[in-house]
Amino acid sequence: MMTFKRVCPPWQLWLNRLIALGVGILLMWLVIGLYSEGRAAWAVAILALGSLSIYIYSSAKTLAWRYLFPGVAGMIVFVAFPLLYTVQIGFTNYSASNLLSEERARAYLLDQSTVDENSAYFFTLHREKTTLRILLTPPTDSHETTRFISSAIKLDRDHASDAPIEMQTLTTTINSLGAPMSLREVLVYRDVLMAVRLKLPDNRTLQYVGVREFGSIVPSWNATADGALVQQSTGEIYVPNAVTGFFETAQGARMQPGFKVGIGFANYTRMMFDADIRGPFLSIFVWTIVFAGLTVLFSTILGMSLAMVLNWEALRYRTVYRTLLFLPYAVPGFISILIFKGLFNQNFGEINAILNALFGIRPAWFADPLLAKTMLLIVNTWLGYPYIMVLCTGLIKSIPADLYEASAIAGAKPLTNAVRITIPLLIKPLTPLLIAAFAFNFNNFVLISLLTDGRPDYLNTKLPAGTTDILVSYTYRIAFTDAGTNFGLAAAISTLIFFMVALLSLANLKLARVNEKKG
Amino acid sequence: MPIVTGKSQHWRIWAAHAGLCILIAITLFPLLAVISISFRPGNFSTGSLIPTEISLEHWKLALGIGITLPDGTRMEPPFPVLLWLWNSIKIAGISAMLIVAISTTAAYAFARLQFAHKNSILNSMLLLQMFPVAVALVAIYAIFDSVGNVVPWLGIETHAGLIVAYMGGVAIHIWTIKAYFETIPVEIEENAKVDGASHWQTFRFVLLPMAVPILMVVFVLAFIGTIIEYPVASILLREEPNLTLAVGSKFYLYEQKYLWGDFAAAAVLSGLPITLVFLAAQRWIVSGLTSGGVKG
């Protein structure tokens, strides 16, 4: 018999307090870090989540939530929040060209600097035993005549990270200096020279700009009080435009990088009315439904027939058959899909080798849209039928045997049994599961991505779109693979997918409830 | 079953056997072909399906051993398959352990404790799980990109980040464990409470030891689920030594660099253990799949 001590020993109480304190400090460090990075929203979110967890684990009133919290928090942070966040991104212009927030885009531009070519100096290196001196000479056409000299230094890598090298005004004589080093000798020091900064007595800082020149660095941009930026080289004023998400001149010239702004329903109107996107979008939408529908249809026909045949008691070796037929489901999807990718290869693939030997044909499985779609359906049926087969095997067992006895007395053939008894009784409990399978294949990103990657592509589209792309792989391409990395548009399409999934889930829920009441 | 058998019965059984054998041949063709290809010399040969000469070159490369070709050129392994396998096992192992931990405690609350909105919380969790992660990839990428700016070891290109991202997929496991807890008579725990045990003690010392079988099952399910996960891993991990098997394997079959034989060996090497684990856990996986739907 186990005995329990209800009272905590004092050291454990102190340990708990210590842990709470540690977590609190960690939390504050994180929040302050986020806030100082200019991510106030993140800081607030983390603060809320953190305080909530400390409250739950230290208060006496929240017993159930101590057990629930990790799981629920995981779902909220990594499932619910990404869904909502995706919807929000769908209303912005978040993309490769509008990646940063306005403040960070401004900070980035203000950080840019250019070399003032007009204030360039020629430089020469002069050897002095083991040390070197840098001599700066103004160009001959310049009105300046002052020359500058550094102290004798060892020009090695240490200077790269050091403070700028101080330069002094050179007084008349340069006798002590040896002859300038040749260009070839200077080039040896190129890496170090590129890293060093030279500081003139008037506080100008010079930087390596060419094999013979040092020039001064000036910031490219100046901020004005109202948030606009002035380009130093042209004097043009770039005003942040909250509609387009760029710093723009009055003439509409844009400066990269842009920043993230809300653009309302622009991504959605683009999907509906921009002919370049609407065309492929609609075809992809139709194909997604056809793909998911046909996959479920073929897998169901095959899986159900197999389940019925394997339920036939007169048949021997049924367990062996069942195990072997279940194998496609047991092999990890990413491996079997890639195996098919290799087998279907037009030139080196074994499937074409066989077809060539038998019929003398080598179909272009990956280049022809119709063949590529056929291949996807073949592979997906292969992947999908064992699941349906197993489901049906389970469901068939619950069909009362007396139905078959009655039909046997009536002299019915096996086919009649299947069509009149088995299939009608299977379909009803199977429907919610088939809807779930449809929803799964509607978003079967792994198959498309690994087998065809959406190719072959449509020609003449602004955004690359593939003939075998389904909606979810299309959004992946828009967001992650192609040049125009457009997170906003991708998120808008994802939002549409959410609605489809939500509808399917509701249908599923309703049918499952109806079945449960009857059963 | 007292079904009257006709004369055609015998013939029909033979037809069924023949049909099943043909179907099994088609079904197993890709799997057997890839095993054969892994022993066939060269990456391009389209020779016979049953290799005429057995070559271990692909297997050596898959196991990270360099080989010397007959013409004297040295071949180094194209990809670190064993490293990827290790990454996969590490990530899946840690994720599965954490998933088991947090789903067990949550399942305990759902099965034994009373709190407000219990059913609606459970139902919304199951409903949420129906949204595939692949659809929210943009947001997940953005989240980890921002997190990485503050906490570098939890950002993009880190295994810790990926493991944390997998902590969202617990609803099904909570459901499975909860159903199991409900089959255990609550009286045993009540006795422990009479003996003076706290909630945590009854959970830890009374309920958990009885639930070990289901925890093992959930561990295996979560392990398989994460080891074959592709979408999230493919956006969070990009650099070669960091990849998991699911993300890395596709690099074998690029048009420009088509390593069919090497892929075959790597696929068999990495796919076989996962397949065997899956077959061993088949019974529970299937029952998990069928009961996974949302129930009120």
Nearest to B296 among A306, A350, A513 (CB): A513
Taking an 8 Å cut-off on Cβ atoms, the answer to whether B250 and A476 are in contact is no
Average pLDDT rounded to a whole number, residues A32-52 = 80
Taking an 8 Å cut-off on Cβ atoms, the answer to whether B279 and A42 are in contact is no
From A234, A440, A210, select the one nearest B135 (Cα to Cα): A440
CA distance B156 to chain A (A): 14
Q: Does A332 touch chain B (CB under 8 A)?
A: yes
Nearest 5°: phi and psi at A258? -85, -175
Taking an 8 Å cut-off on Cβ atoms, the answer to whether A433 and B271 are in contact is no
Q: What's the rounded Cα separation, in Å, for the pair B175 and B218?
A: 11
Position A431 pLDDT exceeds 90: no
Position B18 pLDDT exceeds 90: yes
Residue of A nearest to B34 (CA): A339
- Token pair, residue B236, equals 């969070």
Task: Indicate the pTM of the whole model.
Answer: 0.81
User: What digits encode the pLDDT tens for the residues B200-239?
Assistant: 888 888 888 888 888 888 898 899 889 989 999 999 998 8
Taking an 8 Å cut-off on Cβ atoms, the answer to whether B150 and A30 are in contact is yes
Q: Does A390 touch chain B (CB under 8 A)?
A: yes
Pairing between β-strand A213-219 and β-strand B74-75 as defined by DSSP bridges: unpaired
Contact pairs from chain A to chain B, CB under 8 Å = 307
The Cα diameter of chain A in Å comes to 125
Q: Does A38 touch chain B (CB under 8 A)?
A: no
Taking an 8 Å cut-off on Cβ atoms, the answer to whether A2 and B205 are in contact is yes
Taking an 8 Å cut-off on Cβ atoms, the answer to whether B31 and A345 are in contact is no
On whether the CB atoms of residues B38 and B59 are closer than 8 A, the answer is yes
Chain A residues within an 8 Å CB radius of B106: 67-68, 70-72
On whether the CB atoms of residues A443 and B132 are closer than 8 A, the answer is yes
- H/E segment holding residue A366: none
Which residues between 265 and 324 in chain A have a beta carbon less than 8 angstroms from any beta carbon of chain B? 306, 309, 312-315, 317, 321, 323-324
User: What digits encode the pLDDT tens for the residues A132-157?
Assistant: 888 888 877 777 777 888 877 777 65
Nearest to A75 among B28, B146, B171 (CB): B171
User: What digits encode the pLDDT tens for the residues A158-176?
Assistant: 555 567 777 888 776 655 6
Q: Mutate one of A29, A79, A346 to test the B interface: name it (highest B CB count within 10 A).
A: A79
CA distance B62 to chain A (A): 15
Position B91 pLDDT exceeds 90: yes
Average pLDDT rounded to a whole number, residues A15-42 = 81
Chain A residues within an 8 Å CB radius of B170: 71, 74-75
Q: What's the rounded Cα separation, in Å, for the pair A350 and A365?
A: 12
User: What digits encode the pLDDT tens for the residues A449-493?
Assistant: 999 988 888 887 777 888 999 999 998 888 887 666 888 988 998
Q: What is the mean pLDDT of chain B?
A: 83
Chain A residues within an 8 Å CB radius of B139: 81-83, 85-86, 89, 491
Beta bridge partners of B75: B67
Residue of A nearest to B116 (CA): A64
3-state secondary structure at position B119: helix
> For residue A207, what pLDDT is reported?
79
User: What digits encode the pLDDT tens for the residues A306-319?
Assistant: 999 998 888 888 88
> For residue A4, what pLDDT is reported?
56
On whether the CB atoms of residues A29 and B146 are closer than 8 A, the answer is no
Between B256 and A160, the higher pLDDT residue: B256
Q: What's the rounded Cα separation, in Å, for the pair B37 and B263?
A: 9
Task: Name the DSSP letter for residue A152.
Answer: P
Position B294 pLDDT exceeds 50: no
Nearest to A67 among B109, B170, B205 (CB): B109
Q: Does A1 touch chain B (CB under 8 A)?
A: yes
Chain A residues within an 8 Å CB radius of B135: 83, 86, 443, 472, 475, 494, 497-498, 501
Taking an 8 Å cut-off on Cβ atoms, the answer to whether A501 and B227 are in contact is no
Where do runs of H (alpha helix) occur along A418-461? Answer: 423-442, 445-451
Position A367 pLDDT exceeds 80: yes
Q: Mutate one of B131, B153, B175, B270 to test the A interface: name it (highest A CB count within 10 A).
A: B131
Nearest to A86 among B19, B125, B136 (CB): B136
Q: How far is CA A206 from CA A170, A182, B290, in A?
A: 17, 22, 72
> For residue B250, what pLDDT is reported?
87
Between B90 and A229, the higher pLDDT residue: B90
Q: What's the rounded Cα separation, in Å, for the pair A306 and A388?
A: 9
Q: What's the rounded Cα separation, in Å, for the pair A158 and A450?
A: 50
CA distance A46 to chain B (A): 11
Taking an 8 Å cut-off on Cβ atoms, the answer to whether A74 and B167 are in contact is yes
Q: Does A443 touch chain B (CB under 8 A)?
A: yes
The confidence band for B121, taking pLDDT boundaries of 50, 70 and 90, is confident
Taking an 8 Å cut-off on Cβ atoms, the answer to whether B150 and A479 are in contact is no
